[in-house]
Amino acid sequence: MTHSQNIFPTKEAAIDTTALRVAIADVEAAAMRLAGVANQTPVLTSRTVNQRTNSQVFFKCENFQRTGSFKFRGAYNALAQVSKEQRQRGILTFSSGNHSQAIALSGKLNGIHTTIVMPDDAPAVKQEATRSYGAEVILYNRLETTREAMAQSLVIERQMTLIPPFDHPHVVAGQGTAAKELIEEVGSLDLLLVPCGGGGLLSGSAIAARSLSPKCRVIGVEPERAMDATCSFHTKTLHTVHNPDTIADGARTPNLGNITFPLVLHYVDDMVAVSETAILNAMFFLWERLKIVVEPTGALAAAALLENVVTAPNARIGVIISGGNVDLQKFRQLFS
């Protein structure tokens, strides 16, 4: 049995794939809100990578972003736009990873109470990091309920505003600022490789690239064990993956969203998937050669390039490293 056999067409109302709810003007506005707040993360290069790929490669390192991932961009952009009434009632989200910390810190910076719904088996270090930013953490049992159901009950009970991890126009616009920064710093690109989970970073990046570097091809990368977006892209029908067994925890999202799916279809040129071994090899390479710690999901785009899943000789290639929040104990286990 292949892992792709766990992926099925989504049984829900058809999505209007022509409904594009984010444009370059939204990304530009997000960049203004984030100026002086988000880190303008470094762009690294490697002669070894250039020689290995016969191209010029630029790594946009969002592992150096606040809270350790690109998620801070979208979270802050979303919270900066909530109404006075929404601020008073508070913001709610569900996440076991980077989005939870991003919302918590963004809430702290904006003076907004935040509540995070997390599974009770989420790493203690992530629970504590989220609480350290002042957020209220509510735990749930994965076997008894879903995070969406728990969050929805809290929205009704507390009248809070839900900011989901990726399927929100302000979140997508904020994520697009990473690619905007990259292209403005290094110039036009021929190819941009972007990790894909729920599609927020991918769609935002593609919007920015289409405007700032029109000839640039944008390719999304996800794990072979969670290639719902790849199936969705190539069939033009939304697919869902159930509990994918991949080390790339940020890409374990069941499917693209109502907002991100149409954007991916419209702006993205291709989708590819990489193996678990390729992800580990990329993490190790980035650690050994670029001297940076990158989480599995953060290494997806680099894996596609380094393992020749995508080739583009004599090209200028942008690679987004989406985050670096890997537990050091887990990091050691991965390479033991």
96 catalytic, yes or no? yes
User: Rounded to an integer, what distance in angstroms lies between the CA atom of residue 23 and that of residue 203?
Assistant: 10
Whether residue 22 contacts residue 266, with contact meaning beta carbons closer than 8 Å, is answered with no
Output the DSSP codes for 250-267.
GG--SS--TTHHHHHHHH
User: Rounded to an integer, what distance in angstroms lies between the CA atom of residue 263 and that of residue 241?
Assistant: 20
**Residue 158 CB neighbours (<10 A):** 12
User: Rounded to an integer, what distance in angstroms lies between the CA atom of residue 93 and that of residue 154?
Assistant: 10
Question: Which residue has 């709810």 as its token pair?
Answer: 21
Whether residue 98 contacts residue 297, with contact meaning beta carbons closer than 8 Å, is answered with no
Element spanning 318, H or E: strand 316-321
What end-to-end distance do the CA atoms of the chain give, in Å?
28
Catalytic residue among 55, 60, 69, 71: 71
Tokens of 163: 């900011």
User: Rounded to an integer, what distance in angstroms lies between the CA atom of residue 309 and that of residue 152?
Assistant: 40
Q: 89: Cβ–Cβ under 8 A, 6 or more apart, which residues?
A: 158, 159, 160, 161
Catalytic residue among 55, 69, 95, 96: 96
83 catalytic, yes or no? no
Considering only CA atoms, which of 14, 1, 6 is closest in space to residue 231?
Answer: 6
Active site residues: 71, 96
